[in-house]
Amino acid sequence: MNSAFHLSLPCKNIVTTEKFYSDELGFELGRKTTEWIDVNLCNHQITFVLVDKFKFDYPNYDFDEGNLPSFHFGVILDIDSWEEMYNRINYWSSDIITKKTFLKGKSGEHSSFFIKDPNGYFIEFKSFIKEDNMFLM
């Protein structure tokens, strides 16, 4: 099955969210109002909805000798696109969580880096060494 997903998330400020995803990450925007905005995240729809408050109670977890944000979303890219995105973001941001290879030498080996958006969400950019290992154990 080849389908797109939709994810709706609360956000603190529509204008800063729009600027971050369009100007800084280079993603296309879709429909928008003063209370929500759609972002085309590699052909997946993320909707950010303006809210007063929200919080996450479990900020991190341990994985493969690393501490990662438990609440995050992201995209899986081919290695060339992944490097291009890393270089683009690394050019303007010092907030990148250093890129790392996880599950080295095992099924599911992949390289990742994270960036935090203006709402406090972490976005993971991931590239599998073998694309067909995405769901294999």
pLDDT at position 2? 67
Give residue for tokens 């890393």: 86
pLDDT at position 40? 94
**What string of pLDDT tens digits covers the 137 residues of the chain?**
567 788 888 888 999 999 999 999 999 999 898 999 999 998 899 999 988 877 766 667 677 777 777 678 888 899 999 999 898 887 776 666 667 888 888 888 889 998 888 888 889 899 998 877 776 65
Q: Please report whether residue 97 resides in a domain.
A: yes
Residues 129 and 66 in one domain: yes
CATH number of the domain that residue 20 is part of: 3.30.720.120
The whole-angstrom separation of Cα 1 and Cα 53 is 36
Q: Please report whether residue 55 resides in a domain.
A: no
pLDDT at position 129? 87
Residues 95 and 77 in one domain: yes
Residues 127 and 72 in one domain: yes
Residues 39 and 92 in one domain: no
Residues 64 and 129 in one domain: yes
Q: Please report whether residue 1 resides in a domain.
A: no
Helices (H), 1-137: 14-18, 79-92
pLDDT at position 15? 96
Residues 38 and 68 in one domain: no
The whole-angstrom separation of Cα 42 and Cα 113 is 16
pLDDT at position 56? 66
Q: Please report whether residue 78 resides in a domain.
A: yes
pLDDT at position 29? 95
Residues 68 and 31 in one domain: no
pLDDT at position 136? 62
Tell me which residue range forms the domain holding 123.
60-133
Q: In what order do the strands lie in the sheet with 45-50?
A: 6-11, 45-50, 36-40, 28-32
